[in-house]
A and B are shown apart, each in its own frame.
Chain A
Amino acid sequence: MWDYTDKVREHFLNPKNVGEVENPDGIGEVGSIACGDALKLTFRLGEDKTITEAKFKTFGCASAIASSSALTEMIIGKTLEEAEKISNENIAEFLGGLPKEKIHCSVMGQEALEKAIAYYRGEPEKVLEGEIICHCFNVTDVDIQRAVKEKGLKTLEDVTGYLKAGGGCGNCHEEISNIIKASQGISIMEPKKPAAGLTNLQKIRKIEETLEVEIKPALIRDGGNIELVDVDGNRVLVRLQGACATCPRSRITLKDHVEARLRNLVAHDLVVEEA
């Protein structure tokens, strides 16, 4: 069991400000159910432009709930300019510290606050910068480089604790380690591994078999389907059908589910794309 401080326990067992503010001025939503945690923060400003009311709804573990509760306590009574300065470290400090594997819970709080303030100010949503490295948690190389530099992260575990990147299927571990090394000035030139010694024909057969047995049944259950269009080197071209084709989360399905499984079961370097 995690070694949580009394303050974390207190904010988890008796969280403050649970719910949603009516007619909020700011709304910030981060995370997703697939990632295992999500937070919706809402606030309202008073006449003097300080935050008079802030509430949260959180899906997640004890530290995610405690971080959200702490965040609302910290921002009530502050102006937006003051609130904006609250970092994830401040949230963790407020709670007397978080285990290093759980730092991302406080990061989620900071991000929700940033989003809620941007919403109030009518600023556009931030677009993802860089190339996605961790498909399980949608984290880009730029995010990782920034976190490594600014927060002094040194190991893969540090990055996972902070950004969640690498906390899922593990396919991105090598790339994350390379980014860490690169930002420490170590240059990497590693030969690309062959696709587990499979011939082209074996690889295609294995891809077909995995799609049939492992992937299709789950998609069909959700009213969708998938069809293999072509395999070109390590690129697997597929077409999503039925509900999956129109689902706004189809990219997540493709990367999170289809690609991750094919990488696990067939070859680690496969890239799945829509045909």
Chain B
Amino acid sequence: MTPVYLDNNATTRVADEVIEAMLPYFTELYGNPSSMHTFGGQVAQKIQTARQQVASLLGAASSDEILFTSCGTESDAAAVHAALRAFPERKHLITSTVEHPAIKALFEKLAKEGFRITTIPVDTRGRLNMDLLEKSLDEDTAIVSMMWANNETGTLFPVEAIGKLCREKGILFHTDAVQAVGKIPMDLKTMPIDLLSLSGHKLHAPKGVGALYIRKGTPFTPYIVGGHQEHGRRAGTENVASIIGLGRACLMAEEKMAEENTRVRAMRDRLEKELLSRIPKCFVNGDLDARLPNTCSISFEYIEGEAILLMMNQYGICASSGSACTSGSLEPSHVLRAMGVPHTAAHGTIRFSLSIYNTEAEMDTVIEKLPPIVKRLRDMSPFWSDS
């Protein structure tokens, strides 16, 4: 059974072109880019090309603004710590209630270390309370960190407007754009964003490589010290092949973004529409007007997510659950809770996240298989009645 893989916000398949671009760097081109000889030098040049490819996808002014890291989490941590170093006298940090654990856990740790944290809430559609954000910015604020696109619902935050507010007050703005990069157009030349995190494996590059965009002029102290790699901003021998792969993936994302925004969006919309019309008592979570083209979070009332996932798994359908029962915690995801999704629905939430590799036939499979699964589980649920 070939899987119907609809969990691309968790991770994506590495694209063939990416693997092809990476392969020589394991075999004939295995030089260390820091070496003085040509054998290493040619590798260093290729890393430079990858840097340009990443910069180009982000619409950055210069490739010098790109720092390679190991993943999105590292990029986030490096960005936030850089801000704390830049303004050691400031003790206030701002984030949102729906951030990825990479930021959420980091801020919780900083709170324990004595920083004052303001967590800006969202409404039932996952939209940020901009008034409260504006009121919360003060002279003591070191950094605002808000995700660009939510990993569970796909909701897009108005990063341009957030960045503007921050800039007016001289506060650094970091965005965790791990889910947004490669899916929606970006032009960092003109956008008021100081720091931006991205991760390779969310856009068909391998796991274990990421990047941090650091706008020219933004104060930055390295998080990892040692050698002089990455212009002294991150020590450690480069993950060469993966960096080359990330560059190639960014090039591919640039080429395929139009497809993501038309074909993938249309498939997602059809899946959503069909499920909503065939299954009673279910609804879509998130901001339906400002949302990633590939993400669909649906709550099925009165049943539980893990049970739905395992039954779908019988047919090879892979998605992810919005209740955290699958991850060891017993509570629905903090994102759904922050949005005030009622318990009756939050436990039964499934996230479908598509990629350019999905097909209409796969959507048909889900549209055919899921409604009877929901019905079976509801027939078993003490809270369900048809009436």
Which A residues fall within an 8 A CB radius of B?
1-2, 12-13, 15, 18, 29, 33-40, 57-62, 64-65, 101, 136-137, 160, 164, 167-169, 196-197, 209, 213-214, 217-218, 221-222, 265
Q: Is B383 an interface residue (CB 8 A)?
A: yes
Chain B 363-387 per-residue mask, 1 if CB under 8 angstroms from chain A, else 0:
0000000000000000111110000
Which B residues fall within an 8 A CB radius of A?
111, 114, 116, 119, 121, 123-124, 129, 132, 302-307, 310-311, 313-314, 323, 325-326, 328-332, 340, 342-344, 347, 379-383
Contact B330 A160 (CB under 8 A): yes
- Please give the distance in Å from A15's CB to the nearest CB on chain B: 7
- Please give the distance in Å from A111's CB to the nearest CB on chain B: 14
Contact A214 B121 (CB under 8 A): yes
Chain A residues near B329 (CB, 8 Å)? 167-168
CB-based nearest B residue for A58: B380
The winner among A40, A137, A168 for most chain B CB atoms within 10 A is: A168
- Please give the distance in Å from A53's CB to the nearest CB on chain B: 17
- Please give the distance in Å from B300's CB to the nearest CB on chain A: 12
- What DSSP secondary structure best describes chain A's contact surface? mixed
Chain A residues near B306 (CB, 8 Å)? 2, 61-62
- Please give the distance in Å from A252's CB to the nearest CB on chain B: 10
Count of inter-chain pairs, beta carbons less than 8 A: 88
Chain B residues near A39 (CB, 8 Å)? 382
Chain A residues near B304 (CB, 8 Å)? 36-37, 59-61, 64
A-B contact pairs, 30 of them (CB 8 A): A1-B326, A13-B314, A18-B379, A18-B380, A33-B302, A33-B347, A33-B383, A36-B330, A36-B331, A36-B343, A36-B347, A37-B304, A40-B382, A57-B382, A58-B381, A59-B380, A60-B307, A61-B304, A61-B305, A61-B325, A62-B310, A101-B328, A136-B331, A137-B330, A160-B330, A164-B330, A167-B329, A217-B340, A221-B340, A265-B119
Contact B330 A168 (CB under 8 A): yes
Apart from A36-B304, A62-B310, list 20 A-B contacts with CB within 8 A: A2-B326, A13-B314, A33-B347, A36-B343, A58-B380, A58-B382, A59-B302, A59-B383, A60-B307, A61-B304, A61-B305, A62-B306, A64-B304, A65-B307, A136-B331, A137-B330, A160-B330, A168-B329, A168-B331, A196-B111
